[in-house]
Structure 1
Amino acid sequence: MSDHDTPGGEVARTDGEFGATAVRLDEGHVIGDGGLPDRFENPGLEPHQQRMSDQSEAGAKRAEKQVAALFSLSIIGTIVFVVAYFALDAHAYVFIPGIGDMDYSNAVLGTALAFSLLGIGLGAVHWAKTLMPDEEIVEMRHPMRSSDAARQGVVDTMLDGAEGSQINRRPLIKYTLGGALGLFAIPLGLQLVGGLGPLPKNGLSLTYWNGPIGPDGKPHFKPLRLMRDPENTAIKVSDVTVGSVFHVQPEGLLDMDSGVLEAKAKASVLLMRLPPDTITSRKEIAWGHDGIVAYSKICTHVGCPVGLYEQNTHHLLCPCHQSTFDVTDDCRVIFGPAKRPLPQLKIAVDDEGYLIATQPFREAVGPSFWERGSA
């Protein structure tokens, strides 16, 4: 095998059965057996294809109206999105073939947003295909820092491009595009701000324990029995023995036709019975019954379900991040990242001996936030 210098300073080596040969690697050459061309021809650029808008002003006007119609479709989609966002019930459901039950507002919002995006996208593509210049331009490589003349040339090219797009000559496109892009920012803002859900002070403070929502849009509290989950049966005092734990939901929640999972996520409660002499908090004794206490099951760190109860120590443990709560002392945090106790549910016994909630949670359930009210 032998090496050969090329004019560019590169060396090519090819090994063959009877020796080695060198081939130059300067630009445009290929290594082959002599059957291929020594240099490829520049194929050039595709010729410009005449369009209807190039041949007549009437064709250009027709394309302008088509582009404007697509941008107008985007505007209509955005307006429908904004109206539906405020007008539709977020808890109404509709059956969609192939999908099943779906939140009605989500279906309308998704469809409206799709038309909003589709109108802008199709309008931009049709504009580029029918009115904007379609000749390809090759720009040779140049040093990273161009000369001042070249930089000014870029500015001139941009201005020429704007002129070539005819946006100044086509005010209908300019105004509908501006309207579509301007209005499209509204759904994005609503999704980023309002789409995160209600403000924590309202969304996490109101649970099914607050009572049904009346015609005035406000909850109307009434004492609710504590029901086993998932059996949906009422609990008597005699059912709760020392060391036992019940997963509890408010009366009526498990009978709901829709929205059960969302309601359970905020209303879930753990019911336990401790020896009364182990309880150190006067409030806990006053809010419980003969050592029976009820606490929110939702961890105050990031909202994981607290489900591990240590009978000997009377500690509740969150499995996600190991926050530990002392049930004998108002469920205060004794370990882990949680910053506040689990909210307690005040309970009593009705005339038939069943456990009931005499008031809703006084604190917001779940993760802490900056406007959490005090008990």
Structure 2
Amino acid sequence: MSDAHTTDPHGGELAVTGPIADPGLPEHQWRPTDVDPAKEKRAERQVVGFFLLSALSTVAFLVAYFTLKIGDNWHVIGGFGASNMALGLSLGLALLFIGVGIIQWARKLMGDHEMTEMRHPARSSDEDRETTLQALSDGLEESGIARRPLIRNSLLGAVGLLGLPAVVLLRDLGPLPGDALYHTIWGRGLPNRPMRIVRDGIWTPILPSDLEIGDLVNAQPDALHNPERYDIDPADVEGIELQVHKSKASLILLRMQPEDIKHGKDKDGQSRENWAVDGIVAYSKICTHVGCPISLNERTTHHLLCPCHQSTFDLADSGKVVFGPAGRPLPQLPLAVDDEGYLVAASDFDEPVGPSFWERDYYER
């Protein structure tokens, strides 16, 4: 084999011709909008039209949200509810029209120049960085966003309106709580008929003599089983409302020696000495860490352990946290007995049950 020739598989010789020349780029083809001002204007109107259609679709979403109700009797194709279909189509079209408008803007009106760049190290040189920033600036200039205020403003308007569906959809996360986080159904007992404490699941009232030292009982308000007794509408304790009330009002009763109880103070600075009955104390069953139900009792220490993250509360000392991630004591329910000797709630919990929230205050016990 020589430097100038090589042999092909059939025994012939091929001349070495050297590297292939760079064919370069074909001649640039100008777009109709680059050479015809009328077509440029028409393309601009098309882009603005898509952005306006997006804005109208967003408005249609809002109208559908407030006028069509879930569960309407009339349906559309495929059995889909009118509300779901209208919301899905209008929001989908709002996003689609913005995308189509931006694509049309890029294809027909933005700068149309072929660019090549040789490979370079991972970190660009300072010169390349400056060039990139300049190219970005040039790109913004070539996009025409500064000299096409109609496109710019219609795009900003369409994108801005898309924030409204996000705002109104937040309303579907649930009803506004108002002051519901601060109160439970325990506080709805009548002044002359305080609410009885009943065993969870079997709804039987509890006498202090029913509990022995060390006994722990899961309890609920009698109103969940006998709402009329406390002038409560039965519809208020059915279905989802029943589960909400149970989750907030779930209670733990524990009986210990009365001398073991360290009576703290309530939020008004008054002693809790009269909150217990014959050594029986009542606390929320809901952990103040993340809301797990707790009932693991250590009889000799009066400690209550949450099985989720091992927060431990001292029921003999105002439910204070002795271990774990919980940041607040368990809310305590003041107890009394009614005319028949059954345990009742003297009032509601002295503070909100469950995990902390922004507006919740804390006081030392």
Q: Structure 1 length as normaliser, TM-score?
A: 0.61
Q: What amino acid does structure 1 have at the position aligned with 2:303?
A: H
Answer with 119-128 or 329-338: which moved more.
Answer: 119-128
1:124 is displaced (CA, Å) by 3.2
Distance 1:326 1:50, change over 3 A: same
Matched, 1:233 2:203: yes
Q: How does 1:77-226 map to 2 (within 5 A)?
A: 80=62, 120-133=98-111, 136-142=114-120, 144-147=124-127, 153-182=131-160, 202=179, 204-211=181-188, 223-226=194-197
Matched, 1:269 2:241: no
Distance 1:156 1:322, change over 3 A: closer
1:296 is displaced (CA, Å) by 1.0
Alignment partners' CA distance in 2, 1:264 and 1:115: 43
- The corresponding residue for 2:78 is none
- The corresponding residue for 2:347 is 359
Alignment partners' CA distance in 2, 1:304 and 1:261: 15
Asked whether the 8 Å contact 2:297–2:305 carries over to 1, the reply is: yes
Distance 1:159 1:324, change over 3 A: closer
- The corresponding residue for 1:247 is 218
Asked whether the 8 Å contact 1:285–1:291 carries over to 2, the reply is: no
Asked whether the 8 Å contact 1:67–1:127 carries over to 2, the reply is: no
Q: What amino acid does structure 2 have at the position aligned with 1:145?
A: S
Provide structure 2 residue ranges, at least 5 long, that are not aligned to the other structure: 1-17, 76-82, 226-236, 265-270
- The corresponding residue for 1:63 is 46
Q: What amino acid does structure 2 have at the position aligned with 1:249?
A: Q
1:316 is displaced (CA, Å) by 0.8
Partner of 2:196, secondary structure, is strand
Alignment partners' CA distance in 2, 1:257 and 1:369: 26
Q: What amino acid does structure 2 have at the position aligned with 1:332?
A: K
Identity across the alignment (%): 43
What is the CA deviation profile of residues 58-112 of structure 1, one whole-angstrom value per residue up to 9, with x for unaligned ones?
641442233322442476379x49x98xx99xxx986999xxxxxxx99999998
Asked whether the 8 Å contact 1:71–1:123 carries over to 2, the reply is: no
Q: 1:372 aligns with which of 344, 361, 365?
A: 361
Matched, 1:349 2:337: yes
1:307 is displaced (CA, Å) by 1.9
1:164 is displaced (CA, Å) by 3.5
Distance 1:77 1:294, change over 3 A: farther
Alignment partners' CA distance in 1, 2:112 and 2:134: 18
- The corresponding residue for 2:6 is none
Q: How many residues align?
A: 311
1:161 is displaced (CA, Å) by 2.5
What is the CA deviation profile of residues 8-35 of structure 1, one whole-angstrom value per residue up to 9, with x for unaligned ones?
xxxxxxxxxxxxxxxxxxxxxxxxxxxx
Distance 1:303 1:120, change over 3 A: farther
Distance 1:286 1:190, change over 3 A: farther
Distance 1:351 1:168, change over 3 A: same
1:331 is displaced (CA, Å) by 2.1
Asked whether the 8 Å contact 1:318–1:324 carries over to 2, the reply is: yes
Asked whether the 8 Å contact 1:333–1:340 carries over to 2, the reply is: yes
1:345 is displaced (CA, Å) by 0.8
1:308 is displaced (CA, Å) by 0.5
Q: What amino acid does structure 2 have at the position aligned with 1:272?
A: L
1:364 is displaced (CA, Å) by 2.5
Partner of 1:271, secondary structure, is strand
Partner of 2:203, secondary structure, is coil
1:344 is displaced (CA, Å) by 0.5
Distance 1:178 1:247, change over 3 A: same
1:236 is displaced (CA, Å) by 2.5
Asked whether the 8 Å contact 1:74–1:180 carries over to 2, the reply is: no
Alignment partners' CA distance in 2, 1:42 and 1:226: 91
Q: What amino acid does structure 2 have at the position aligned with 1:207?
A: T
Alignment partners' CA distance in 2, 1:350 and 1:93: 46
Alignment partners' CA distance in 2, 1:112 and 1:228: 51
What is the CA deviation profile of residues 189-212 of structure 1, one whole-angstrom value per residue up to 9, with x for unaligned ones?
9999xx89979x956423343449
Alignment partners' CA distance in 1, 2:209 and 2:89: 51
Asked whether the 8 Å contact 2:58–2:165 carries over to 1, the reply is: no
- The corresponding residue for 1:24 is none
